[in-house]
Amino acid sequence: MQEHILSILIFFPALAAMLGFIVHKDSVRAYGITVATIEFFLSLLLWNLYDPMTSGMQFMESAPLVAAFGINYLVGIDGISLFIIVLSTFFTMIGIASLTETRRVKDLIITLLFLEMTMVGVFAALDAVVFYVFWELSLIPMLYIIGAWG
């Protein structure tokens, strides 16, 4: 698990958001809080495993995406990106836990979980194309949140 913990941290909220479509609307708040809390604790595990005495990037993962153009799925973290990832997961957890919205709560929580995936992906991306993809993907939930809930 340790060798893929960063990818798990990135894609767990997206998987949970997809599974959120089958969660009953009465229990979606508890589901969202649970998923966001698990994600936060995963980021704390990453913090605990991080070695501050090692220079350079840690938890690097690479996989070819478009080999002909040299585009790779390349993610990793340093101390600054780790701190921002932990903050992002913490504030997502707090944000979902403190929701007072009553309209389309299920849609909002699923959108926030998808947004969390894109935020962690942006802060962990080491390839310009991967960064760009996560950045552009973050615009979709932001547009939906702003359009639907102001």
Q: Give dist(CA 150, CA 147) in Å, integer.
A: 6
pTM score, whole prediction: 0.92
Please state the domain count of the chain: 1
Q: Is 55 exposed, middle or buried (0-12, 13-18, 19+ CB in 10 A)?
A: exposed
DSSP annotation of 14 reads H
**Is 96 in contact with 114 (CB distance < 8 Å)?**
no
pLDDT tens-digit series, residues 65-124: 888 888 899 999 999 999 999 999 999 999 999 998 888 999 999 999 999 999 999 999
Distance separating alpha carbons of residues 33 and 144, to the nearest angstrom: 20
Q: Is beta strand 71-77 parallel, antiparallel or unpaired with respect to 58-66?
A: antiparallel
Instruction: Kindly state the average pLDDT of the residues 36-51.
Output: 96
Report CA-CA distances (Å) from 90 to 6, 120, 147: 16, 12, 25
How far apart CA 121 and CA 110 sit, in angstroms, is: 17
Domain boundaries, position 130 = 2-149
